[in-house]
Structure 1
Amino acid sequence: MTALKFPCTIFQTQNRMDDYSAKDMRCGDLTEAQLKSQYGLVDVSSRVTPYTSIKITPFNQPQSMFYGSRGEGQKITHQQCAAMLFEEFRQLSRLFSVYGPYRHLIEKMITHMQNGNGMPFIDMALDSALKEHILSDNSTENSTRLRLQKAFNIFIDWDNKNYPIKNKDELRKAIAFGKLPKFDRFQDNYNGMGITVHDTWATHITIKSLHIDNDRYRAIVHYKVQDHFGLDVDDISKFKFNQFRFFRIWFVLQRYNQFGFKPFMTNMDATVEITGGRDES
């Protein structure tokens, strides 16, 4: 019976890796008129007007009791305006990143958007978060790790000490009918992962090796996950995003044709060990 050779990629999402044509990867493509009329982005920042680069003070805010008493605010350069918007962007991010080892990530990623010119982003904390998510998911229905473990237990050819190639699709199905690791749990709303990643765009899962001996097996499985740090028009059209100044600033910095700061790929990797035995099948 022909044995499956390793390493072997057993699962890939329909969304492909490094898809720079995705809707949330667009930048610098909207005018001031479009941002205001189509998406209601008139009140964007509390510190500066992005369309005129004029600082906002109590004297030029229409809702202020001092409005109009001292004329317009101070005009600053386009670069100073962008810097002020990014600083406010970082400060507002703390509302979504309250505690835990990942709370610093959103500010690092905002700064990467400011200075990285669209280069992919990697960070050991992201890799740790992915691995922790995979290992802590103990749902037999959803966990891709536990579903793979069950498939190994059932379909390994114990007599020949290999995994038959004819059963390869059982490994893919084990993943497809589970739930890929995503940061949409309740705790991710506050630990920094919900705002930095939340959903994911593409996932590849590869079995790096499979060793079978004495009716036991040990599989090394690699998860490669990619997300986009960018907003599309569907995002900003939703009230749950548009109501927050944080997302309004993000969208203007990315999509306004006078800024056009580039979104980027967020890359995560995790390698986990899966073990089991003949008597567990």
Structure 2
Amino acid sequence: MKIGIIGGGNMGGSIARGLVRSGFMPASDIAVSSPRNVTLDALSADCPGLQVSTDNSTVVQGADVIILAVKPWLIGKVLDEIAPRVAFREQIIVSLAAGVSLSDIDAMLHRYSSSRTLFRAIPNTAMLVGSSMTFLCSDNATPQQVDMVKSIFDALGTAAVIDERLMGAATALCSCGIAYAMRYVRAATEGGVELGIYPHKAKEYVLATLRGAVELLEATGNNPEVEIDKVTTPGGITIKGLNAMEAHGFTTAVIEGLKASSNG
């Protein structure tokens, strides 16, 4: 399999680096385009053997899967640029553009081909370390094509195939959600500093605590509330802290943030 990635920024670059670092495929089977030579130079340094170009059409040639890692407002322009070079009956197009539906992409390509295989993928930046939660949906794809695209993103973490109607919610929960998690880490770290712990140590302790919480929930399969109950002794300090957080809108803030992101 050969992959062409249009866009070498945060998402496109993370995919290329992640696939190489995971051992999923050699750098020589990946081509990346970017208008910025400095971006391409950095990718080449990180992934020796990677094919790089400032020409999007060059990246398309010979690729089994074409990944569009560009901003949503650039999708139409990029598709118009590469469409004359795409073998639509053979090549798969995967868009990472949030908010651009499969029907939107299909309409942009209608004049170029009546038969095309399209995917949307919503990953997050943890692709770089092989821990992304990625959601996929497709149009006109065979089970084999779905498996092939899923295997790419499984190499970057965990991938799930869902109905397109859920992509907005999935984007909020996991693509935007990684920023929400980072914000909690920042807030907890600042709280630790206020309590007298040095910043670098506070962050270290917060990350270790979150890692433990995740591993505990994964190992037990329990509802989070079950594990919370185990540490909330009546009249104890944990329940006092939780109540103070809720009094300041903790759960409501999280839910409203997710809804705001989902609504765009």
TM-score range, shorter chain: under 0.3
* Bigger share in helix: 2
Structure with the bigger RCO (C-alpha within 8 Å, sep 6+) is 1
Higher-Rg structure is 1
TM-score, normalised with respect to structure 1: 0.22
